[in-house]
Structure formats: structure tokens, C-alpha cells
Structure 1
């Protein structure tokens, strides 16, 4: 990592004065694929690929960003740990040397639009302040795991770039909306379709007047919220602190003080629930289990009818070939704060932990999750085939619930939300 002088950072990294108490969402000089390679470079998250699809991408598409994050494929060898970090950097440098990637000459904001079969959303890719994360201007609603924070911090330090934006959300803003809509009337820098019937488009905002307008609008916002990417935010904050301590010429304007983010308005955010699947009833018979649930829930057997909750604090359960509705008995249950009203918390506190004996939602191998993008048919199928004993579903959380929990410095249980959009990797890269 090369530390820039104060003069270099003022002129080259961010051309605007940085005021400590203002929310800092800044333009940056992205490294990105040239126009002809964009659709070939862009990839989904590595974990999103099945083995066969991943192999096909690596074998038949030499431009895929997957070659960078899976550098061992070049040698037909699995590589882990810090050795992998160094090879990721090497593959990245090769893409730059081969002119697949280039860096913009001036800082820009980037409008990124995703059109799916169901909906479309657009937002701004920009550099968010690690300091804002540290002083709770960028607010979080999930716990992070310390060793994962450290691991990703070390990864960032070695590779020197960030390609997975943190998803941040802010209240709808008329000025920003109008500016984005006007810019999107012009031809995009990139526009390509993917095999899952999505269209991805990207525009540059590179004129000084509109850059100043966007920067000024974000400075008026007292807080913005992490929708997805809590570990990435925490790791970037750790990297910023560590880099500051080791840089005697630290100014606060260095690139390591920021992390790449995708900012979308709250109306563009799509929130889904996670259903819970449990492998056994913790030693209870079906009858004993239902009696235990009766203390906190009004239970109705729906038979073979696929039941979907229609209200908050209503749950669906699939057990022994039948669906049940579970309505929380509010005369018994006491709401004490915003977290206590969250359905995933209620399910954990009144069923998963006390009745089914599942305390560690991240690591207990008796529980699995299906995100709400998938149908209840999958939940039913996985119970019917004997893989699991019981499944639970609920309505998705609402953005106001998430914000209130963050404002109260509380944290949601793991797998409380599945949030879209999910961005492609490799279209914009933030170097530090």
C-alpha cells in the first residue's frame, strides 16, 4: 500500500474539501472493464455458482472476474490463506496489464441500474467514509464476527482493492432522483443482459456541477443505513484505523479511509424473509411440540393448503405433511423495544431456542435457511423428503423496522433479511 501525500490526495483522490461532521459520500476513480469486456467480466457472487456452472465459467470465459477471485484455477489447484490473497492481486494486475481494465482519469459517481423480470432499481456507486461507520452515521443492524472482520481486513490490505460494494440505503431524495433520471436518458457506458434475464446498465456522472449536487445532498443526511455488507463495512473500518496508525503523514483523505458502496433509496430496496428449516423436534413428539407452542401461539391446522402469513406476528409452519398458522398471543407476549417486535426475534425467543434447543443460529447444523426469493414449495419438499422435520416462515421485515433497530443500537438475529439488489462483481473496482 502506497501512502499518498496530502497534496496528492487533495488533487487526485477527492477534489473536494472534506468536512469532519458532514456525511461523506464521494466520487472516486474506478478501475473498470473497457466497454467491450464489461458483460464478460461481470460475475455474480462466487458463492452463488454451483460447481458445474462455476467450472464452465472458468473454462470458457477467460475474461470472467471469477478468474481473479479464484486464482488457483490457472494452475488447477486449490489455494487458500494469505497465499491466495497474493495470487488474487496477481490475477488482478494481469487484467490491468492486458488492458481488460482501465482506471478513470477523474473521480466520478456511477449510476448502476438492474432490470429484472419483476422489478428494476438504480443507485449510485460511490466511496463511503469508514469514519462515518465508526461514528455511527452509517448505521448497522447486524452483529459481525470478529475473525471474519480480521480475515477480510487482511485480504483487503494484501490485494489493495475492493470490488464488492456495501449496500447502503437512504431516504428518497427528489434532487438525487431527478438527477439520476435525467442522466439515464443518455446512452449508458455499459448495457448487457445476463443468462438469468437481468439487464445491467451503468452511467458515469463526471461533470463537476452534478458531482457537487450529489455530494451536497448526501451531506444533508444525518444517517444512512447498511442494508447488506456489515462485515465488509467493519473490515474497511479496521483497515482504515490500522492504516492511519502506520502512516505518520495521515490526513484523512487517503483512499484507505473510504470503501466502495452502492447507495439506493429506500423505495428501491427489496427485502425478503428467510424461512427456517429444523432437522428434528429436539426429542419432542409431534403432540408434545404443538402443546408447547400453544403457550405463545394460537394454532390452526391448515391441512394441505399452502398457508402464507398475511400479517406481522403471524407465522406459517409445515410439519408432518400439513401446514399450520401460528398467531402470536399478544396478551401473553410483552413488547419492550423494536427488536422484541421483530418476527424473526419472536420465532427465535419463543420456539427455536426454548423448544427446539437452537441457540446459535449461525453455527448449529440442525438449522438451515431458505430465502424468500424461493417458494414455500421448496420448504415443503425438503420436509417431505425427510431432510428436515419442520419448517417456519414469516413476512419480511420492513425498512422502518430495520432502521428503528439500528437507531436503538440493537441487532437483528442472523438471517433476518434477504435484501436485493445483488450486484455483479468486477464492473467498478475501488483501489486504495
Structure 2
């Protein structure tokens, strides 16, 4: 618990500095190394990446982080309240990522890729795992469950109450069988970590070009991942709040919404119970919105997503927000914060309305990736998050 930390992109520098207080071996000293430098230090300066490398070497030298004597798989279990998911820590193939066998569903930003490339180069390690999903495969599930019956090799409860447990898979027959089962799968799916995987691909290409003796077995040909069964993964809702009504009165707004949705006043906060259902919070009142069936493009894996239905039938045509990636009139609220957060932001006057959504389903995400398409922005919020510091991949 003194080592593991949230992913690097979950905390601000100030939040990380507070989390790492009195924790000299917190992994935040590697993932957010600017916390040990003077306030105001540019987090993208060379000294920050150098500090990450220095801190990683110190933690290895102190025995806080230890490299196993051989290559193993690891079973990683996360428990958040009643929710439990058990997956496999593995070095995933960059070649499979490059050929789309490890499938993407998001665009990446060059500046964020550059940051991860510099971090990996400086530390000569991948310290933040990519969250992957594998299609239903009962035999894999069974092998992971069997390994997790033994004594844990690492077990910690993070400061957010989430438990992270790790077992080393040492049985050679299990290792061989897991390898064969994953080799037979048609695809794996990136759930979270598109920038980390894209950066690993860039590192591999650069080092391959600079290595005249490249043979494909070098550590840079793989990237750190944790692969969970798709049926165990949990996606929470990712809700929207809007600053204004685009010049419309409340009555005219509701009238326009009725062209595409059935609108029903609600007596309590609306947490949509199924796809195609939405909640609208406006002027202290909740409404249930149901998309009209003729508005759903059933053969379009992106267009039929709830986030797309809401964007294409309400947010863009009625509220005038056509580019939710850049428009400052819209903000996004992860479902972990609850519906009360939506009410708070509207009741305070900061926002004019809020929209609650049903969570995107894993099979929808996989269908988009299989179609080589891209999800709309802010479509998925995965919980629980992986912990940095449970496992790293040295290059």
C-alpha cells in the first residue's frame, strides 16, 4: 500500500504530491516525478523524466521493486466493494498491436504519446500497464482462478479502498496452456491505455531501426498489459453537463427534444436502466428520455451507441455543440461521482442542464473495434482502475 498508486493520468500534480506525502516509495515518484521538484516545474521538462529514471533505480536498489529470476505470467485480481475481476499480467505483442490484432477504439493525441515515449525512454521501462480485454474463454478463466487459490505474492489495499492482489504463475504447464489459448484468440481489445500502447509501438520502431542485430525477442517488442475477461469488466456511465440552452427557453428546448425522444417527467434522479434511455436534469427537475426506435441506426456500431444517439439527436442539433472534444460549453462527469454531482453542477448555476446515460457495454466497444471504427469522446469510464507499481516491464 505504500508503493502502489493510481494511473499517471488520473491525478493532477498537486493531488499526486498530497498522495505521496510521507511515502518515499510511492510509485507516484516514478509516474509523477515532478512532485519531488520545485513547484511550478514544467512536468514535460527533461529533468522530470530524468527524475523518474533516478527514482526507479533507487527503488530497485532498495529492494522495493524486485525482478523475478525468470519470465512468468501473473494473475492480478482487483476488488472494489462487491465487484471482483481477475486477469493476466503479460507482455503483449507490439506486432499484434501494429497489425490490429490488439484492437483500438480511440484516437490518440501526439502530445500525450510524446510524453509517454519520453517517460519510457528515460526509465527504460514500461511502468504503466495497458488495460486489455479478452473474449469469453472459460479455460483461461479457470487457469487464472486456480492460480489465485494459492498464497498471494503481493496483496495491498490502496488508499481508495480498492484491493489489488498478485500471484506469480509458476506452473510451466499452465504457462504453456495460457500462451496457446491467447495465441488462438482472434483479437484482444484495448479498454484503457491507448496512449501507452501507441507509445510502446513508437519505442519499438525506433529501437528496432537502431539495432542492427534485432531479432524480435528484445523486451521492447512487447508492452506491459493486464488482460481481463470482457465479461468481468465494469464500465460506468459517462455523463454530460452543458453550460447553456443555446438560446432556447425551457419549453422550446423540451419541444425540440420530443422530436427524437419520448419525454416523461420523473420524480427522482434518473439513472437509465437500459440502452436508449437517458436522464435530463433541467431547472431542478428530472425527465426520462427514451430515444425513438426509428432514430437508432442498428447496423452502425458507432451510430447506435448511446453516446452517439445523444450527440447526434440532441447535443449537436439542438444545443449546437458539434465538436464535444473541443467545445468549452460541454463537460463530462464520470459515473463514479454519482447523479448528485450532476445536480450539484446544475443547481450551482455553473451548468444549465445535465444528461445521464446508460453505461456503454463491452460488446458494443468490441463491435466498434472489430469494425475498425473509433468511439465518440468520453464513451467509457472503467472502474476499478489498475494500480501502477504492481508490475513493470523493463526494456
Asked whether the two chains share a fold, i.e. TM above 0.5, the reply is yes
* Residue number among 33, 40, 44 corresponding to 2:6 in the alignment: 44
Q: Would you say the 8 A contact 2:132–2:225 is kept in 1?
A: yes
Equivalent of 1:259, from 204, 217, 223? 223
Paired with 1:51 and 1:140, the residues of 2 have a C-alpha distance of 28
- Is it true that 1:362 corresponds to 2:325 in the alignment? yes
Aligned to 1:159: 123
> Could you list the per-position Cα deviations for residues 152-198 of structure 1 after superposition, in whole angstroms to 9, with x for gaps in the alignment?
22332222111111111112322222222222221111122233332
Q: CA deviation at 1:318?
A: 0.4
Structure 1 unaligned blocks of 5 or more: 1-38
2:21 partner SS: helix
Tell me the secondary structure at the aligned position of residue 331 of structure 1. Answer: helix
Question: Of the candidates 371, 374, 377, which is equivalent to residue 408 of structure 1?
Answer: 371
Residues 51/227 of structure 1: CA separation in 2 closer, same or farther (3 Å cut):
closer
1:13-412 equivalence runs, <5 A = 39-49=1-11, 54-77=16-39, 78-81=41-44, 82-302=46-266, 304-332=267-295, 334-412=297-375
Contact 2:360 2:380 in 1 (8 A): yes
Instruction: Answer whether contact 2:80 2:384 (CA < 8 A) is retained.
Output: no
Q: Structure 2: how far apart are the matches of 1:176 and 1:188?
A: 19
The whole-number CA distance in structure 1 between the counterparts of 2:158 and 2:297 is 48
Displacement of 1:75: 4.1
- Where 1:86 maps in the other structure, the secondary structure is helix
CA distance in 1, matches of 2:297, 2:145: 46
Given that residues 144 and 231 in structure 1 are in contact (C-alpha distance below 8 angstroms), is that contact kept between their aligned partners in structure 2?
yes
1:106/1:206 contact within 8 Å kept: no
> 1 CA distance for matches of 2:296 and 2:153?
54
Cα distance change of structure 1 residues 54 and 157 upon mapping to structure 2, 3 Å threshold = closer
Aligned to 2:384: 421
Structure 2 residue matching 1:351: 3-state secondary structure: helix
Q: Distance in 1 between matches of 2:115 and 2:320?
A: 30
Instruction: Tell me how large the CA RMSD over aligned residues is.
Output: 1.9
Q: Deviations over 1:241-268 (max 9, x none)?
A: 2222222221111111110000111121
Deviations 1:13-58 (A, max 9, x none): xxxxxxxxxxxxxxxxxxxxxxxxxx21111234545777644433
Supply the distance in 2 between the matched residues of 1:387 and 1:320 (Cα, whole angstroms).
12
* Count of residues paired in the alignment: 393
2:131–2:386: 8 Å Cα contact kept in structure 1?
no
The Cα of 1:122 is off from its aligned counterpart by 1.0
Deviation of the 1:133 alpha carbon = 0.8
Q: Which residue of 2 aligns with 1:430?
A: 393
Deviation at 1:97, TM superposition (A): 2.0
- In the alignment, which residue of structure 2 is the partner of 1:29? none
CA displacement, residues 333-352 of structure 1 (integer Å, 9 cap, x when unaligned): 54441111111011111222
Judge conservation of contact 2:131–2:191 (CA < 8 Å) in 1.
Answer: yes
**Cα gap change, 1:325 to 1:123, in 2 (>3 Å):** same
Alignment correspondent of 1:16: none
Structure 2 residue matching 1:341: 3-state secondary structure = coil
Return closer, same or farther for 1:405/1:74 CA change in 2, 3 Å cut-off.
closer
Return the offset for 1:391: 0.5
> For residues 364 and 304 of structure 2, what CA distance do their matches in structure 1 show?
9
**Distance of 2:101 and 2:188 partners within structure 1:** 6
Asked if structure 1 preserves the Cα contact closer than 8 Å seen for 2:296 and 2:303, the reply is no
Q: CA–CA distance in 1 between the matches of 2:296 and 2:90?
A: 43
TM-score by length of 2: 0.94
Rounded to whole Å, the distance in 2 between the matches of 1:118 and 1:336 is 35
1:203–1:360 CA distance, 2 compared to 1 (3 A): same
Instruction: Give me the whole-angstrom Cα distance separating, in 1, the residues matched to 2:295 and 2:3.
Output: 55
User: Gaps (5+ residues) in structure 2?
Assistant: none
Q: Is the 8 A contact 1:45 1:425 kept in 2?
A: yes
1:238 is paired with a residue whose SS is helix
**Cα contact 1:121–1:421 (8 A) shared by 2:** no
Alpha-carbon distance between aligned partners in 2 of 1:201 and 1:390, rounded to the nearest angstrom: 41
